A and B are shown apart, each in its own frame.
Chain A
Amino acid sequence: MVELVLFIIFGLAALFGAVTTVWARNPVYSALGLMLTLFSVAVFYVSNGAQFVAAVQVIVYAGAVMTLFLFVIMLVGVDRAEDRRENLPVQRPLALGLLVLFGAGVLVAGRFAWVTGAEGGRGAEGTVEALGSELFRRWVLPFELTALLLIIAAAGTVALGLFRRGEAEGGDEGEAGEGEEAP
C-alpha cells in the first residue's frame, strides 16, 4: 500500500518533469524538469532494491551532469525563448501522433506479462558490496573499457574546445574562430 502511494506520487512527479523537459520554452526549465524526473526515478530504484544505482543517479546524474547542463545553458544564453514556428509544418502533429500511438501500444502491452526470461532466485539487493563484487569479478572487462570512453571524452573536448596559442587558425571559408580565448 505504501509502495503504491509512493509510486503514484513519484510517478506523477516523474511524468510532470518529463513533460516540462520536452515542453518548456526556456531550456533552464527543461533542465530542472529533467532533474525532477531523475530524482523521482531514483526513488523507484530504491524500491526495486537498487540502492547503489539510486545513489549514483542522484550524485552523478542529477548532481554533476545536470550542473554541467545548466552551466552550458547559462553560457549559450537563456534570454531568447525558443521559436516555435516550424519549418516543416507536419513534423509536430506527426510526432504527437507517434506519441499517442506508442502510448496506446504501451497501455495494451501493459496488460500482459512483459518479462518472459528465466527467473532466478529472489532479487538480490543492490548494495555497494554486492554490486562491487560483481563489478570487479564478472563485469571487470567492460568496467576497464570505460577508461577508453573517458580518454575520448577528455581528448575530444580538448580537440573541440581548447584553442591553443599560436595554433594555425582559419578554415577554408576564411572564417577564423576566436583564437584568443586560450585559458
Chain B
Amino acid sequence: MNGSLTFLSVAPEIALAAAVVLLLLVEVTFKPRAWAWAVVAGAGLAAGTALSAWQWVAHRGADTGTFWNGMIAVDGFAALAGLLVFPLAGLGLMSAWRLAASQGRRGAEFIALVLLAAAGAHLMAAAADFIMLFIGLEVFSLSLYVLAGFTRERVDADEASLKYFLLGAFASAVFLYGVALVFAATGSTTFYGDGGIADYLAGTVIFRPGVLLAGLALLLVGLAFKVSAAPFHVWAPDVYQGAPGGVTGFLAAAAKVAGFAALARVLTAVLGARADDWVPAVAVLAAASVVVGTLLAIVQDDVKRLLAYSSVAHAGFILTALVAGRGGVGDMWFYLATYAVQVLGAFTVAAAVSGDRAGRSPLAHWAGLGRRAPWLAAAMTLMLLAMAGIPLTAGFAGKVAVFRAAIDAGYLWLVIVAVLATVAGLFFYLRVIVAMYLASPEEGASLPASPAVGWGARFVLAVAAAATLVFGIAPWPLLEVLRDALPL
C-alpha cells in the first residue's frame, strides 16, 4: 500500500473539494460571470469522473483494497458509484442551470452544494467504516436539505426543506443508534480487514444475536428513509413537489444512487454472513414499497407527486435485486443507473413545463403539451414509458434483470407482486401521456408561460433519451460490465 495510492484513493473528493473552495473564493473575490462557475464546476466534476474511471480500470476485480487504516475502499463498486454520480451531478447542474444563473450571487453556493452532495454520495459508496459512512451520509444529506429550500421566497419550498431536514435528521439518528448496536455486537465499526465487522461475523457464532439484529433493523430503517422505501417514504412526495423544479431531478437521482450504494455495501459485503436475517426484511420492504408506491401514485393529480410515488415503487424494484445478495448487485446497478437518468430527464421536463422555481406541477399544466412543445412531450413520453417498463427501453431491461435475480434467489412471490404492480403502474404513467397528447388545455386555465428549454436541459434530455434507448435495445454489454462492480 504505497503513499501515492493512498491519496489517489480519495482523489475524487479532493478534486471536488478543491473545486468548491475555488468556486467560493473566486466568487467573493472577483465576482465573475456565471460561465466561470460552469468552468470550475465542470473541471471539478470532470476530474472526479476521470479519477473514478482510472480507479475502475485499475482496481476493479482483483486489485482492490482499503486505505487510510481501513476507512475507504477502492474497488469496482466505489469506482462505478463515482462514474455514475459525478456525471449525474454534471447533468443535474445543466438541467438546473437557468435556476442557478437566476439566483444572482447565490448561484455559486448552489453549485458548490451540488458538488459537495456529489462528493458525499461517492463517500457513502466508498466508505469502509461506519464513521466514514455516517460522515458521507451527512455531507450528502445536509447539502440536499439546503438545495431543497433554495428558492427561499416560495413558502412551499422552505416547507419542503424543513420536512426533509427534520425527517432526514430523525433517520440519521435512528441509523446512528443502529450503528452503535452493531458496534456493541461486533466490537468494531470498520467493515473489512482483521477484526473488522465482516471478519468477525464470518468467524464467530453469536449465541444471543438480539443486539446485532436490533442494530441491523435500525440500520435498515435509517437507510430506507434515505432511499424513500415504504413505509419510510413520507417525505418524498412533499419534498419532490416543494423543492425548486430545477433541483428535484438531481435530488431524486442522487438520493437513490447514494442510498442504495451504501445499503448494498453494508448488507451484501459487511453483513453478508447474516444474510438469512436481513433478506426477508429486505423482501418485505421491497414488496411494501412497490405496492404502496404504485397504489398512491394512481390517485395523484400532480405530476411531481406522481413521480415521487413512482420513485417509491422504483425503490422497491431496486430492493428486489438486493434479495439476491451479492449476486444481485450488478442488476441493482443497472436498474439504478438507468432509473437515475430517467428520473433526471423526467424532472427536467417538469421544470421546463412548470418553471425552474415552481414546486407544483398539476396535470392541467401538461394538457396539450404534445402540441405546444412536441419535443418535450416526446422526451417525457420516452421517460415515462421506460419507468413503466415497456420493452425496448432501459426500464424493461432493468426490470427483467432484477426479477431474474430475485427468482434465482427463490423469491417468486416477491416477483409476482412486483409484476402485478408494474402492470398497475402502466395506468398512471399512461395518464400523463394521455393528458399530454389527447387532452386540450381548459378554457381560460392559467398555464405557465410557454415551456422554455435552455441548452443545458436540451443536452440532459438528449443524453437521457439516448441512454434509455441504447441500453434498452442492447442491455447485455452494460450488464456484463456491471458484474465487476462488486463491493470488496
Contacts and interface: CB of A to CB of B under 8 A. Distances in A.
Interface of A: 109, 112-120, 137-142, 145-149, 151-153, 155-156, 158-160, 164, 166-173, 175-177
B132 interface: yes
CB-CB nearest 5 A-B residue pairs: A117-B187, A171-B153, A156-B146, A171-B154, A141-B68
Given A116-B211, A148-B119, A168-B102, A156 B142 contact: yes
A120 B456 CA distance: 56
Given A152-B113, A152-B116, A177-B153, 14 more contacts: A113-B208, A118-B195, A118-B200, A140-B68, A145-B13, A145-B132, A151-B24, A152-B143, A155-B116, A155-B146, A159-B110, A171-B157, A173-B154, A175-B155
Nearest to A105: B214
Contacts of A153: 142
A114 B106 contact: no
A120 B186 CA distance: 12
B235 interface: no
B163 to A, nearest CB: 15
A149 B135 contact: yes
Given A118-B200, A140-B68, A175-B154, A112 B208 contact: yes
B24 A155 contact: yes
Main secondary structure of the interface of B (DSSP, over half): helix
A146 B155 CA distance: 31
Contacts, number: 138
B105 A167 contact: yes
Contact of A173 (B71, B106, B155, B204): B155
B484 interface: no
- Chain B interface residue bracket vs A: 35 or more
Given A171-B153, A172-B154, A114 B187 contact: no
Contacts of A168: 102-104
B109 interface: yes
Nearest to B211: A114
A79 B13 CA distance: 46
Interface in B110-134: 110, 112-113, 116, 119-120, 123, 129, 131-132
B278 interface: no
Interface in B17-47: 17, 20-21, 24
B17 to A, nearest CB: 6
B187 A148 contact: no
Nearest to B356: A172
A109 B102 contact: no
A119 B187 contact: yes
Contacts of A139: 69, 71, 131
22 contacts: A113-B208, A114-B184, A115-B187, A116-B186, A116-B211, A117-B184, A117-B185, A118-B186, A142-B131, A145-B13, A146-B135, A149-B135, A152-B142, A152-B143, A156-B113, A156-B145, A159-B113, A160-B146, A160-B152, A168-B104, A173-B153, A177-B152
Q: Tell me if A's interface is mostly helix, strand, loop or mixed.
A: loop
A152 B117 CA distance: 9
A6 to B, nearest CB: 23
Contact of B153 (A112, A113, A170): A170
Contacts of A160: 146, 149, 152, 161
B139 interface: yes
A138 B69 CA distance: 6
A115 B109 contact: no
Nearest to B102: A168
Given A113-B208, A119-B187, A156-B143, A175 B153 contact: yes
A172 B351 CA distance: 13
A169 B206 CA distance: 60
A107 to B, nearest CB: 13
A119 B185 CA distance: 10
